[in-house]
Each structure stands twice: as structure tokens, then as C-alpha cells.
Amino acid sequence: DSGVTQTPKHLITATGQRVTLRCSPRSGDLSVYWYQQSLDQGLQFLIQYYNGEERAKGNILERFSAQQFPDLHSELNLSSLELGDSALYFCASSVTRDPGSGNTIYFGEGSWLTVV
Amino acid sequence: AQSVAQPEDQVNVAEGNPLTVKCTYSVSGNPYLFWYVQYPNRGLQFLLKYITGDNLVKGSYGFEAEFNKSQTSFHLKKPSALVSDSALYFCAVRVITGANNLFFGTGTRLTVIP
């Protein structure tokens, strides 16, 4: 158990809908990351938040947005869903914001999203 | 730009034999290198990392990896494979002066045959 908690574990929704994925980081971790794992694109970094502020952006679509709340939990919002958005969405967390300390990023078990 | 290559999609090894899962990287600075494992229907579990110092790093479940700067490689190894090691293995890289996110390889599926 990494200590990173994600809900829901599985989600099935229709095209055009909107969903919210939730993540609680490990105790003491200030950075939260979202990754998407799909068969055709592998593991892709979406976005990082540190202590409530956006820190880095990856291949995140404009239809997707995220935020980190004062209690450090994070939500990933996916809207106008398409079939191609079906994937496993991982949340991860680490203590620090930057890589200089060599800190480890720990992953949750993911949220399986199926768009039908 | 950063990238990671895992040249083998699939590695099969007999139980009890040594295993190697290959990883090469390309970065424009000093790298931090990581191995993660994904069991069926589970998340990514951290195995080990290379930050600095000894080129041979030891991690969880008896795994180890050797950092080779001249060959830009970070191969994962285990002296004696177990059936329970069967999983999907990912190599990842992060640059010391870059953003904190990880760049992942495409993964290698390891199957240990009883």
C-alpha cells in the first residue's frame, strides 16, 4: 500500500459526460501528480500541483482540469468525454516540488474510466 | 528532451533463472532513474531508484539495477526469478534540474515460467 488513495476505482460513463476523480496523497506529501495510462499512449504525465498551486503541465487536454485543495487532496475533472478517454488514471504524490532531492513519487492504484 | 526506451515488450524467463529487463535513457542533463512494477489490476509500485553514488542499487523484492552512464542504461536484474515476479515493469527518468514529473518507458511484460 503506497498510501495514495484514489476514488472511484472503476467508473463507466457515456460520451459527452463529465466525471471527477479524487485523490488523497500520502500523509506529509505536498505534491500531487496525475498520469494517464492507455494502451496506445502508455503512461503520460498530465499535471502536477504543489501545495495548492499548479507546478507543471504535461499532455493534458483542455477538456481536462485539476485542482488541489487546502487539505492537499486533488481532483481531476474530465469533461465532454470521448471514447478515447477510456484509460487508467493514476494519482501520485511526493514530498517535494522539485527533483533535486531525488524524492520518490508514489502512485495510487488508479481509477479505471470506461467511456461508452 | 527526455526519453526512455525499453526495447523488449516481453521477457520470458524460467523460474530460478536470473532475469534482466532492459532500459536505456536519453536526457539533456544528469538523470534520476526509477523502476516501477505494475501487477494485474494494481497500481504502480516503486521498486528502486538511482540518484547518485554507487552504480548498483538494490530495491524491493530482491531486485537490483545497474546505472551505466557510458551506455546510458539502467537495466533491472534479479539473480533468481520467482513466478510471483510476473508483472509489467516500467523504467522512468527525471532530470535533476527539470520538472519533478517522471517520463516513462513503454513497459516490459515479464513472465516467469514455472
Q: Between B51, B95, B101, which is nearest A45 by CB?
A: B101
pLDDT at A63 over 80: yes
Confidence of residue A16 (pLDDT cuts 50, 70, 90): very high
Determine which of B3, B28, B101, B108 to mutate to test the interface with A (most A C-beta atoms within 10 Å). Answer: B101
pLDDT at B101 over 70: yes
Contact in structure between B64 and B77 (CB atoms under 8 Å) = yes
Number of Cβ within 10 Å of residue A73's Cβ equals 15
Strand partners, A43: A37
User: Can you tell me the mean pLDDT for A5-28?
Assistant: 97
Confidence of residue A60 (pLDDT cuts 50, 70, 90): very high
Q: What share of chain B is helix, strand, coil (3-state, %, to 5)?
A: 5, 55, 40
pLDDT at B97 (0 to 100): 65
pLDDT at A99 (0 to 100): 67
What's the rounded Cα separation, in Å, for the pair A51 and A13?
A: 31
**Chain-chain contact of A45 with B103 (C-beta, under 8 angstroms):** yes
Pairing of strands B56-58, B44-50: unpaired
pLDDT at B27 (0 to 100): 85
pLDDT at B30 (0 to 100): 82
Determine which of B6, B44, B109 to mutate to test the interface with A (most A C-beta atoms within 10 Å). Answer: B44
Contact in structure between A15 and A81 (CB atoms under 8 Å) = yes
Q: Smallest CA–CA separation between B35 and chain A, in Å?
A: 11
Contact in structure between A110 and A89 (CB atoms under 8 Å) = yes
What's the rounded Cα separation, in Å, for the pair A77 and A85?
A: 12
Contacts of B104 in chain A (CB under 8 A): 42-43
pLDDT at B82 over 90: yes
- Smallest Cα–Cα separation from B79: which of B13, B4, B18, B14? B18
pLDDT at B55 (0 to 100): 92
pLDDT at B98 (0 to 100): 63
pLDDT at B28 (0 to 100): 82
CB-based contact, A102 to chain B, within 8 Å: yes
What's the rounded Cα separation, in Å, for the pair A98 and A13?
A: 35
Number of Cβ within 10 Å of residue A1's Cβ equals 10
- Smallest Cα–Cα separation from B24: which of B66, B61, B54? B66
Average pLDDT, chain A: 93
Over residues A78-109, the pLDDT tens digits come to 999 999 999 999 999 998 777 667 789 999 99
What's the rounded Cα separation, in Å, for the pair A63 and A81?
A: 8
Contact in structure between A75 and A20 (CB atoms under 8 Å) = yes
pLDDT at A59 over 90: no
Confidence of residue B79 (pLDDT cuts 50, 70, 90): very high
pLDDT at A52 over 90: yes
What's the rounded Cα separation, in Å, for the pair A9 and A21?
A: 9
Confidence of residue B11 (pLDDT cuts 50, 70, 90): very high
Locate B35 and state its grid cell.
Answer: 523502476
Which residue did the predictor score with more confidence, A60 or A2?
A60
Locate B13 and state its grid cell.
Answer: 524467463
